Amino acid sequence: MHTIDLSYFSRMSEAAEFTRLALVETHRRGVEHSTLVCALADGAEWNQGFIDWHRPDAVRILDFCHAAEYLAAAGQVVHGKDTPAFQTWFATQRRELKDGDPDRVLTCLEQLPQAYPHLAAPERQVIATSLNYLRTRRDQIDYAAFQRAGYPIGSGAGEACHTYVIECRLKGTGMRWAREQVNPMAALRTLVCNDRWEEGWAQVAAHLRQGGQGSRPARPSTPPPAPAPRPPEHTPPSEPRLPPGFKLRAGTSWRDRPLGKARYRPSSEWPNAKT
């Protein structure tokens, strides 16, 4: 299966608010009236709530890479990270999970604590966490059946959308955004990525001309700052500060002064030279 005709919706909000706001885009794409909908996502609970609200009958598929990560975590506590034993074990179980029977994988995970009784309590907890994560999503990890039906098993296209839509525009190097400015920019960015700028900007411009909420509020008037006090005027002294008959001696350039051994040779210009 190849992904075509992509469209996007982006907002920074809580999960419940995001689920409601996305309804316009899902309806526009025909999700409500589609015969079959596949929903690929990771195991986050809010994703399941999103699917329940829009299409509760959708075929739910756990992203294969997320499932493989939990499988790898259990294998690493037993065989060590990046060891040949782990690589062999993981390749076998990963292939079984993708193309075979997921129940065999679950059984293998369940038997790991008995097969390796020397495991410490934290290591057993990692295995239990991976087993519970995959077991509670048993209907979402039947990847062999999904592939036979022509369904996708990876959410890479959806994951990449975040980089393309949001990170490229709002998470550049050195960028800082006020929270109230994020969603307006995300809405404009979504128009660009969906190739709907002409359609969307016409509505935005009409809303701004009518004085809608999107118009910039007038800045409150502030009194001009008080002028700075003027410095006191300079008055020349009434009496001269130098004694009567004082004369400044003409300056002598350092270039004309003797340097090195010449400082110790008396001359007519330097009668007091050191000896």
Question: Is residue 207 one of the residues assigned to a domain?
Answer: no
Question: Is residue 168 one of the residues assigned to a domain?
Answer: yes
84 & 128 share domain: yes
Give the domain extent around 181: 15-62+154-197
Question: Is residue 264 one of the residues assigned to a domain?
Answer: no
Question: Is residue 127 one of the residues assigned to a domain?
Answer: yes
Of 146, 170, 197, which residue constitutes the final position of a domain?
A: 197
- pLDDT of res. 262: 64
Domain count along the chain: 2
Express each pLDDT in 216-233 by its tens digit: 555 666 677 777 777 666
**CA 243 from chain center: how many Å?**
76
- Count of helices and strands (H, E) across the chain: 12, 2
159 & 49 share domain: yes
Of 91, 108, 138, which residue constitutes the final position of a domain?
A: 138
127 & 176 share domain: no
**Beta strands of the chain (E only): which ranges?**
38-41, 59-62
Q: Rounded distance, CA 43 to CA 68, Å?
A: 12
Question: Is residue 147 one of the residues assigned to a domain?
Answer: no
- pLDDT of res. 6: 87
Q: Rounded distance, CA 264 to CA 23, Å?
A: 98
pLDDT of 175 > 80? The answer is: yes
- pLDDT of res. 261: 62
Question: Is residue 43 one of the residues assigned to a domain?
Answer: yes
pLDDT, average across residues 237-246: 66
131 & 88 share domain: yes
Radius of gyration (C-alpha) of the chain in whole angstroms: 39
In which band, very low, low, confident or very high, does the pLDDT at 160 lie, cut at 50, 70 and 90? Answer: confident
Express each pLDDT in 135-152 by its tens digit: 999 999 999 999 999 999
Question: Is residue 260 one of the residues assigned to a domain?
Answer: no
77 & 116 share domain: yes
Express each pLDDT in 3-40 by its tens digit: 778 899 999 999 999 999 999 999 999 998 999 999 99
125 & 84 share domain: yes
- Cα angle, residue 259 at apex, residues 255 and 263 outer, rounded to 5°: 125
41 & 87 share domain: no
104 & 116 share domain: yes
Question: Is residue 235 one of the residues assigned to a domain?
Answer: no
SS3 91: helix
119 & 84 share domain: yes
Q: How many residues does the chain have?
A: 275
pLDDT, average across residues 77-82: 92
Q: Rounded distance, CA 126 to CA 78, Å?
A: 10
